[in-house]
């Protein structure tokens, strides 16, 4: 994997009737997603309900899906936790699973200081050779990574980007301007169009489970400078995006997948 995917879906984790991870269904779903607009997948993230998975389940999920989709598709392992040492252990498991990158969320619940966030990411980065995407989602973690801290994090050699879900367009614009080469993936489907117009690299999507081809078409229009055409697709996706989050995430997207 020479470069990381631009459009990735944060894949749900399938379960069987006994509430065990269904790895066969995970393979089937991963295949469906890469055939429908996704050049990468994020596994065991927020939508994948990472806190419900054991370390062994995460490693097997990463391994099986990587085996299924092959080397040409990016697999990002949701390896960040509230515990720095645990996050480092999961990074090692992700390496064994041949993941292409790590998604490292801000430590949640404890509301660390900005220096604490930086040191958390730094320690993980120094423990692995894998590229790291920082995940800024203050609505779930309770703390926003400041622009100053994000710029410090961006200087760490293998921290390559930010999955940005704080909804602040000015923040993202400043980050794009002040950290050339540091990639931003939109972390809110409702923000994809605006962030791409600002120069963001890609998106980690929830609605990509069902809207992948349209999202890729919208991205292609933005890349070509065809903003009116991209905006029209964005407007058409607004009710779909709203519906996919009407009862939280991932319960609503799970329901939508059952209806396919």
Whether residue 151 contacts residue 114, with contact meaning beta carbons closer than 8 Å, is answered with no
User: Burial level of 231, CB count in 10 A (0-12/13-18/19+)?
Assistant: middle
Catalytic residue flag (residue 255): no
Catalytic residue among 66, 163, 171, 201: 163
Catalytic residue among 58, 66, 118, 135: 135
In sequence order, the β-bridge partners of residue 160 are none
Catalytic residue flag (residue 135): yes
Structure tokens at 34: 């890469």
Distance (Å, whole) CA 236 – CA 214: 10
Distance (Å, whole) CA 248 – CA 81: 21
Nearest-Å Rg of the Cα atoms of the chain is 17
> Could you list the active site residues?
135, 163
């Amino acid at each position: 994997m020479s470069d990381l995917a631009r459009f990735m879906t944060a894949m749900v984790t399938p379960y069987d009737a006994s509430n065990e991870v269904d790895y066969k269904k995970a393979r089937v779903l991963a295949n469906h997603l890469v055939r429908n607009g996704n050049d990468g997948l994020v596994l065991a993230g927020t939508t994948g309900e990472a806190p419900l998975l054991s370390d062994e389940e995460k490693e097997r999920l990463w391994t099986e899906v990587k085996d299924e989709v092959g080397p040409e598709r990016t697999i990002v392992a949701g390896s960040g936790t509230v515990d720095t040492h645990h996050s480092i252990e999961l990074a090692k498991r992700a390496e064994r699973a041949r993941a292409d990158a790590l998604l490292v969320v801000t430590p949640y619940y404890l509301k660390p200081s900005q220096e604490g966030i930086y040191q958390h990411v730094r320690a993980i980065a120094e423990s692995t050779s894998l590229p790291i995407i920082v995940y800024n989602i203050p609505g779930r973690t309770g703390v926003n990574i400041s622009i100053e801290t994000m710029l410090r994090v961006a200087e760490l050699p293998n921290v390559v980007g930010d999955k940005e879900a704080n909804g602040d367009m000015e923040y993202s614009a400043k980050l794009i301007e002040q950290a050339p080469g540091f990639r931003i993936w939109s972390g809110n489907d409702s923000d994809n169009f605006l962030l791409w117009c600002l120069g963001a690299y890609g998106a980690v999507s929830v609605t990509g489970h069902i809207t992948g081809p349209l999202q890729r078409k919208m991205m292609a229009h933005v890349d070509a400078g065809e903003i009116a055409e991209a905006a029209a697709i964005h407007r058409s996706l607004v009710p779909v995006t709203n519906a996919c989050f009407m009862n939280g995430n991932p319960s609503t997207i799970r329901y939508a997948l059952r209806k396919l």
